[in-house]
Structure 1
């Protein structure tokens, strides 16, 4: 009993337990293997130090947790080392938690690393309580459908540049790795929206500052999953803090670039004619807070709005190569709707392209780039749908498991766009999460994905370089990415 008190009250007279995090992690797990209530979800016994994490050794995390659901059901307890989480692949419970109990689950779990990187939870990704509500109110205005309409010419112009760079390889025999082009396309849309700047598709043509933006974004994105993976282990926190010092340095440099743009925008600001999001944020600075917070907002949009959409476009290309009959059906629909008088698909054409739209949705289901929407922290103990959530526990939605649930999808392992032709499956198709803290830029993401892939298929035919299917193996850090691949591009319009 004395050690239990030590864990939670941290008395100064038991320095060994207080300063021995390995002991604390192991003891917390031993204590917490008990039941919290009669309404606890089923769970596997947790091991000292590791909890249930050893199950991740042989599979990707979202697949491991999917396998847990086969044994324990769609709602179960899971220990990330000493941190207790309730993992959910039940869309009804997810909706109840994220929509009807959103106030109690509005925050992200406590994270020393995220707190450091975000300069004390200043960004919208991990902002908390009233800070988050204020930031969401402001930023939601930028992503209303009305505001996004003003960005349509920007996206359509970027799609033309995107296609132009693919055309340089469209001889049917030159290998192309499309990863960088897809990444630049989505990044340019976000940069144009934020600061009215864009990247050239070839680094040698870019100014040094724009090269630095690319470098810092890649560094933060590449390493963002590392500290998240290991932060569950209290005994690793000192090492993680050293590692964060490097990550923080990259993120700080990115924020510093936006601070320079902030100063430039402030000096030339016309309150009656805001040029971009940065102007709008400055004009609303009473709501967003100081200069630093506004610059963190800008980096949030750039980091969050680039990788997810670009990787969805990459998965689309792979799945078109591997399913040539679907690729040709898309191309036929596009040519029928667009006609022979123009070579560009516009966003206004989407309503007349049901099969292309269905294919995009099936890509989002078949390869959900965000298998785990950001986890939520339970503020106060609560019972929801006969499941007990202890205070400070974590709610984790396994969107991948929902996307492959045979209860909701016929033959979920098959890539079959026809499932979306006459049914949106809105009850369990939730690639952008749910509730007030769902993906802020979902409409923008859907627009840029559509404008990119529809123009690609209108203009080009994609083939593998060896007449074999491209690997659909998944690589995971924070999002699901494809392995590097190459394609042949053949011009459809001669």
Structure 2
């Protein structure tokens, strides 16, 4: 008996020595990294989260300085491992792929998002916006007090994306669209996993009930994209129109992906195309919907801004109810400034991540070690008073009259910015135009020029109350 106790004690002592030796070896190996990391200014209020994050990663830094942010986004193109959870859905889609694969995919994707291609989708998006206002009317949402507009707007953005990306027509008259619920559930589950460290290991997460919900939601999303991709392949084999470059038919995003080639003449596989489509639907649905809803909330808080937009619409469109044309959007200059200001104050994606591949020195003088995970706090960058002035937290669309206020990081910057940001602007502005030209947004008027929207983080930043507003006939 005593012999066994002695063995247990000896094993414990040996294990303790090994742990201590490993710790000192680990500190020695990271001595340069720790020396530089200690000089990085801490970001107030985020120490506890970053402590957990640093335990799992080499080191990391929060950025809010606009100049440093611009430098990082233009020079550090590799994505940090924090996006691994998102990659489990969209694989190596262009937003998350290693630089070597991103370059290849970006060359195929770039022509798909050219201005000519994007504006070819204008009629599709306009049709979906008309379905949106029609649905609001049919559901007796006009003149009947507050309601959550989130379901209507997110259905509109998803249906716009399905029409332009997949050539698929969704009916906004349906009370529930399974893929919308699937997308929302995916975001909630990923957020929950991200903030609970014990759910990070795949072997553990797969044994939770959350994983079963996650797989079910992913199955709905994949099922939609796989079915449409198969049908599109069959359509290409049977139709001359899609294969005929001279055809007048408007091609959807999927058509362009199927035809896209890199410099060596190779294209994307079906799995790679599914990754890009899934990313397009996931990222585009919520970002655009959140931007629209935030702007509608601001209309209710600042009715004078809404009426100024309405006056601009009348000057451009008159009292007609004709659909919007691409040239109309160019004339809506105040609307454009309002949307930018809404996106500045309330970026749908509040953080993005990058990783250094070598030791770098930022414009501020801070040196970041090699393999540093950099979390860019877009919310902070967009409200930095050193760049935006002492009224950085104020809602002031006319700040974008100044040519110097061009560092809007909401859709990122540099070579790896959001490839579809111009399309997102179209989806956002078309919906706002169709709502404001018919209805007046009514909400609780803000008593200061600093707006307050009670937001919560669920991968993206959204309103806690589901964006409750009231609409009245004009």
For Structure 1 versus Structure 2, the TM-score category normalised by the shorter chain is 0.7 to 0.9
2:230 to 240, 250, 263: 263
- Cα gap change, 1:279 to 1:429, in 2 (>3 Å): closer
- Cα gap change, 1:167 to 1:140, in 2 (>3 Å): same
- Report the more deviating stretch, 90-99 or 280-289: 280-289
Q: Helix, strand or coil: the match of 1:173?
A: coil
Q: Give the CA deviation at 1:310.
A: 0.3
Match of 1:161 in 2: 131
1:217 to 174, 183, 194: 183
Q: Give the CA deviation at 1:37.
A: 4.3
The answer to whether the 8 A contact 2:33-2:369 is kept is: no
Q: Tell me the distance in 2 between the aligned counterparts of 1:95 and 1:399.
A: 11
The answer to whether the 8 A contact 2:293-2:467 is kept is: no
Q: Give the CA deviation at 1:223.
A: 1.7
The answer to whether the 8 A contact 2:143-2:471 is kept is: yes
- Cα gap change, 1:377 to 1:288, in 2 (>3 Å): farther
Q: Helix, strand or coil: the match of 2:408?
A: coil
Q: Tell me the distance in 2 between the aligned counterparts of 1:172 and 1:263.
A: 45
Q: Tell me the distance in 2 between the aligned counterparts of 1:228 and 1:26.
A: 29
**Alignment map for 1:239-388 (pairs within 5 Å):** 239-243=204-208, 245-246=211-212, 247-269=214-236, 270-272=242-244, 275-284=251-260, 287-342=266-321, 344-373=323-352, 375-385=353-363, 386-388=365-367
Residue 438 in structure 1 maps to residue 417 in structure 2:
yes
Map Cα deviations across residues 433-472 of structure 1 (whole Å, 9 max, x no partner): 11111111100011111111122111111113x7888961
Q: Give the CA deviation at 1:116.
A: 3.9
The answer to whether the 8 A contact 1:96-1:384 is kept is: yes
Q: Tell me the distance in 1 between the aligned counterparts of 2:142 and 2:179.
A: 32
Q: Tell me the distance in 2 between the aligned counterparts of 1:460 and 1:25.
A: 64
1:125 to 67, 80, 95: 95
- Cα gap change, 1:88 to 1:41, in 2 (>3 Å): farther
Residue 474 in structure 1 maps to residue 427 in structure 2:
no
Give structure 2 stretches of 5+ with no counterpart.
1-12, 237-241
Q: Tell me the distance in 1 between the aligned counterparts of 2:217 and 2:22.
A: 32
**Alignment map for 1:231-242 (pairs within 5 Å):** 231=197, 238-242=203-207
Q: Tell me the distance in 2 between the aligned counterparts of 1:15 and 1:138.
A: 56
Match of 1:142 in 2: 112
- Cα gap change, 1:171 to 1:290, in 2 (>3 Å): closer
Higher-Rg structure is 2
- Cα gap change, 1:342 to 1:481, in 2 (>3 Å): same
The answer to whether the 8 A contact 1:337-1:352 is kept is: yes
- Report the more deviating stretch, 281-290 or 321-330: 281-290
Aligned length: 439
- Cα gap change, 1:282 to 1:44, in 2 (>3 Å): closer
Match of 2:9 in 1: none
The answer to whether the 8 A contact 1:255-1:296 is kept is: no
Match of 2:40 in 1: 42
TM-score (norm 1): 0.78
Query: Normalized per residue, which structure has more helix?
Result: 2
The answer to whether the 8 A contact 1:167-1:491 is kept is: no
The answer to whether the 8 A contact 1:346-1:451 is kept is: no
- Cα gap change, 1:112 to 1:363, in 2 (>3 Å): closer
Map Cα deviations across residues 318-370 of structure 1 (whole Å, 9 max, x no partner): 11111111111211222122212345544322232222221111111121111
